Structure 1
Amino acid sequence: MSTPVATPPPQGRRMVAVALLVSALVALALWAFAWPAARTAPRDLPLGVAGPAAATAPLQSQLEQQKGAFEIHRYADEAAARDAVEDRAVYGAVVVTPRGMKLLTATAASPVVAQLLEQAVAGQAPEGAEVTTTDVVAAPADDPRGSALGASVLPLAIAGVAAGAVVTMLGLRGIRAVASLVLAAALVGVVAAAVTHSWLGVLTGNWWAEAGVLGFSTLAVGATVAGCAALIGPAGIGVGALTMVLLGNPFSGVTSAPRLLPEPVGFIGQLLPPGAGGTLLRSVSFFDGARITGPLLTLAVWALLGLTAVLLGALRRPSAAARDEATTARETVQVA
């Protein structure tokens, strides 16, 4: 006679499931945050080279030997290279003159990249030659390292997740849910601009434009979370939160630059609201709106898809509720 195999009680299985789930989340978080940071390096970083072709050819050849590090753009003179930096076409530019080399940087685009370019160009300069550096678009004096700007991405993502979760838990549907998400995002934008621009001074552009970007970024996250919940239920809150916070935040590249992250992390990050919002905020605040089309379109797509899902979820729920009521009625009749 065989002895029956003992099976763990339900509570034991749940404890094991919780331990495995927490371990998996920790592993995912470490991968998402630590791996990109540990692999930071220039990858096809747009860099300009300006000056006579005969003078710039050796420098360009040396830079291109660092395969995959730089994407070289040629410019006729310093003025053209400066315009390219201000337009965010390149992160910096090396100008070769009879008196030596001059490096144009933009710490407002990324203090990390500016420092990296200084080191790279100094290493390529002839021995004894001095490289002068000009910060074409400087970071704000109150945030020279861009730390405060980088730290603003996570709170906005959390605000968006909170807005989507609260709207879902309060049972708001359809137009009311959409209106609540838009209103919450608008208020977040105003409050965030008041803190980052008016109080901390880490943003220096048009106040209302910055408030609009901050609010739009929040709306893209909040609409996505609420939309996922409307389509697949409360679990959608977790899916949206993990995507926006656990992936969107470390993949955004706001603390360094998207081109410094390993691929495809840098590319994916710019397709998520935190990364697109951070890039858009830099352009609006420091570069007079240069190169805003891509990130603006990304945020619009996320917001539109999320709000559409919220409306579709409202159309599905009444039918589900009606079926539940019909089932309850039949069961009542049978019991009677």
Structure 2
Amino acid sequence: MWFGTLVIVISCCFSTLYTEENIPIVVTTWKFINSTVKAWEVLKEGGEALDAIELGASVCEKQQCDGTVGYGGSPDENGETTLDALIMNGKTMNVGAVGALRGIKDAISVARHVLEHTKHSFLVGELATQFAVEMGFHRETLVTPQSKEMWKKWFNEDHCQPNFWMNVKPDPRKSCGPYSKQSSKKYDEDIEGHMKVDRYNHDTIGMVAIDKNGDVAAGTSTNGAKFKIPGRIGDSPIPGSGAYADNTVGGAAATGDGDIMLRFLPSFLAVEEMRRGSSPTSAARVAVERIVAYYPDFMGAVVALSKVGKHGAACHGITSFPYVVHDTTQESYKVIEVKCS
């Protein structure tokens, strides 16, 4: 009798193990289908998660996905497009990132070079461009006729509205700069506001992948917020904010109002919640709710992926948030739509 019970328990445990594991797998924020398909092609051929992230995000950079990724989108106040990107290796916990990258289209690949060819984690601005050129990347303009027209309309017709200035003169709600700081120490919260998040202003592609070996990688790429103050870096290239990966747990990626989200490291928090035993959906919800407690009007989302291939997401401030999944359980990708709080 005891022997029979023991056999049943063992059989149950092995069955549960194989049923739950769902790797390789890739998840991608928003409806960036082409990037997801490219990443999956790498994984299904036995490739590494890091390669899947780099090549998948590169597709969006080249295709200028929704105008929020890659060259020619989201010009800053000066009309220039700059790029941010991050790639993280969950096996080694190593990170490569670039911020405010100028004149180089392949931001995620430059971030990969930071990871693999330096002892640093983060390079920024013109000197990040210098590094990229030394690594063999080609310098070229990131401005396009479309981004020029976008900037001209904002500057001439919309009188520099909206913008990201506060507590300066002249009043940034009514006119363009140059600005100077107000002599008053009063903090004007009315000017702060939040970034509008929708299909064409969500700021980033975030990806998490697990390969056949169980290695986790995560990455992001973005051209940042429209009409940002030059030099601004949002959440996307910040490890633990834009994305995070840990082989022992899984990974996560965030998207939305980056200036708010980076203050809470939502991707790191989601991974830590999964470490504590939460499901990916619950973990993403905790990360989002942490931000909402301080900024109830913020707009954004977090997608989480456990090391065994379970996934989920949570969002706030928008009607719904889509993310794309490709894994061994289906012949094609699947778009999952999450209702937001």
TM-score, structure 2 normalization: 0.25
Larger radius of gyration: 1
Structure with greater proportional strand content: 2
User: Which of 1 and 2 has higher RCO (CA within 8 Å, sep 6+)?
Assistant: 2
Structure with greater proportional helix content: 1
TM-score, structure 1 normalization: 0.25
